[in-house]
Amino acid sequence: MRERPGSAPAIRIRGSVRPVVVSSANGHRFTNGGTKTCVETAFEQMMQGTDVLDALIAGVNIVELDPLETSVGYGGLPNAEGVVQLDASVMHGPRKRAGAVGSIEGVRTPSLVAKAVMDFTDHHLIVGKDAQTFARNRGFTIEDDLNTERSRRAWLEWKRRSDPVHHLDPSHREAALRAVMMSMVADGLVDENHVYGTINCNGMNAKGEICGVTTTSGLAWKTPGRVGDSPVLGAGLYVDGEVGAAGSTGRGEANLFGLCSMLVVEEMRHGKHPKDAGLEACRRIQHNTIEKRLLNDRGTPNFNVNLYVMNARGEYAGVGLYANANSRFAVCDEKGARLEVIEPLLEGSV
């Protein structure tokens, strides 16, 4: 999908704080039939005085509801049984509050359910059928099936291609399933960026208030009930209102092992720039990846993780284990909305 021209409301910046919204690239690629992307919507609302978290959620709702985005919300690639299960988390820097849901079914906008967990309970995470019950009791519409024809066709094709490998020796099964996934990417049936999916979006207003949200349909064709890093505080999202925010996309298991979003924020607490803090987390992921099944023929990880980082001064960065010519992240500030280049830790590709 082509990059969109930048646009932003005219604002006057005061002091050293520079308002900004930073997200994964899908935050400036999908509009759900409208005229504004996630980062444009979030920045505009934020600068009009909307609470930062509410503005960010309004932005990611566009992505969650867009059936063309198959890694988030409605039409997200389903699990191995063909069921769309969604995860999301939110963190509010000024209020020092957070909420999340995992493996929730039937709700197109899990980010809003995560915020309801934050607003109406003393908990941080509700999962599975009980998360759906919580959402129903809060007035959310529950649907029987969040698949679109596109996501269902992709799942059926995955089933057709992967069925023979279910009878392989377990030690060979994962490699075979990965080969099936990559063949579908190569054939144009699945967007490479949608294998793991997710949108992370963080923002800071002119008052220096920082919030963040991460929402996803998770790993395509995952084991039912699998929860990745997105709804886990410190992994898929971490916000400290006095320091900054970080969130991630990519292989959630690798991020969970290192709680990389919290690591990034702690590195910034000790004075590192967002880029350097993010790259330090990428080094941690590389160091922790020692299993042969997770390494390529160069001895480096055979997966990617991207981190989207901003500090309390409005400085930001997008980093990853790898980057290619199309690797981007989204930004919106007083200069408008745009896609910028991901800074990679490692040379080459996955």
Angle at which helix 110-120 crosses helix 128-137, to 10 degrees, equals 80
User: Along the 350 residues of the chain, how does pLDDT read in single tens digits?
Assistant: 434 545 544 444 445 789 999 999 999 999 999 999 999 999 999 999 999 999 999 999 999 999 999 999 999 999 999 999 999 999 999 999 999 999 999 999 999 999 999 999 999 999 999 999 999 999 999 999 999 999 999 999 888 888 765 555 556 666 676 677 677 677 776 666 555 579 999 999 999 999 999 999 999 999 999 999 999 999 999 999 999 999 999 999 999 999 999 999 999 999 999 999 999 999 999 999 999 999 999 999 999 999 999 999 999 999 999 999 889 999 999 999 999 999 999 999 88
Radius of gyration (C-alpha) of the chain in whole angstroms: 19
Distance CA 55, CA 48 (A): 10
Chain-centroid distance of CA 123 in Å reads 22
Active site residue 198: yes
CATH topology of domain 20-147+191-344: Glutamine Phosphoribosylpyrophosphate, subunit 1, domain 1 (3.60.20)
| Cα–Cα distance, 336 to 7 (Å, whole number) | 4
pTM score = 0.89
Cβ neighbours of residue 209 under 8 Å, at least 6 residues apart?
52, 93, 94, 241
In angstroms, the Cα distances linking 139 to 86, 109, 116, 136 are 18, 13, 11, 5
Structure-block tokens of residue 195: 């294998």
Token digits of residue 135: 């959402």
Domain map (residue ranges) of the chain: 20-147+191-344
Q: How far apart are CA 12 and CA 49, in angstroms?
A: 13
User: Which residue of the set 37, 70, 109, 198 is catalytic?
Assistant: 198
